[in-house]
Chains A and B, each alone.
Chain A
Amino acid sequence: EIVLTQSPGTLSLSPGERATLSCRASESVTSNFLAWYQQKPGQAPRLLIYGASSRAIGIPDRFSGSGAGTDFTLTISRLEPEDFAVYYCQHPWTFGQGTKVEIK
Chain B
Amino acid sequence: QVQLQESGPGLVKPSQTLSLTCTVSGDSISSGNSYWSWIRQPAGKGLEWIGRIYFSGSTTYNPSLRSRVTMSVDTSKNQFSLKLSSVTAADTAMFYCAREGFSGWFDPWGQGTLVTVSS
Contact = CB atoms under 8 A, between A and B. Distances in A.
Interface residues of B, number: 20
Interface in B54-79: 60, 62-63
A32 B102 CA distance: 10
A47 B106 contact: yes
Given A44-B96, A44-B111, A32 B106 contact: no
A35 interface: yes
B75 to A, nearest CB: 23
Most buried by A among B96, B103, B111: B103
B46 A45 contact: no
For the residues of B in contact with A, the DSSP-based class is: loop
Interface in A54-104: 56, 88, 90-98
Contacts of A96: 46
A95 B48 contact: yes
A1 B105 CA distance: 17
Contacts of A1: 63
Interface extent on A, as a size class?
20 to 34
Contacts of A95: 46-49
Contact of B105 (A35, A44, A94): A35
Contact of B49 (A35, A94, A97): A94
Interface string A17-43: 000000000000000110101000001
Interface in B71-119: 96, 101, 103-112
B109 A88 contact: no
Interface of A: 1, 32-33, 35, 37, 43-47, 50-51, 56, 88, 90-98
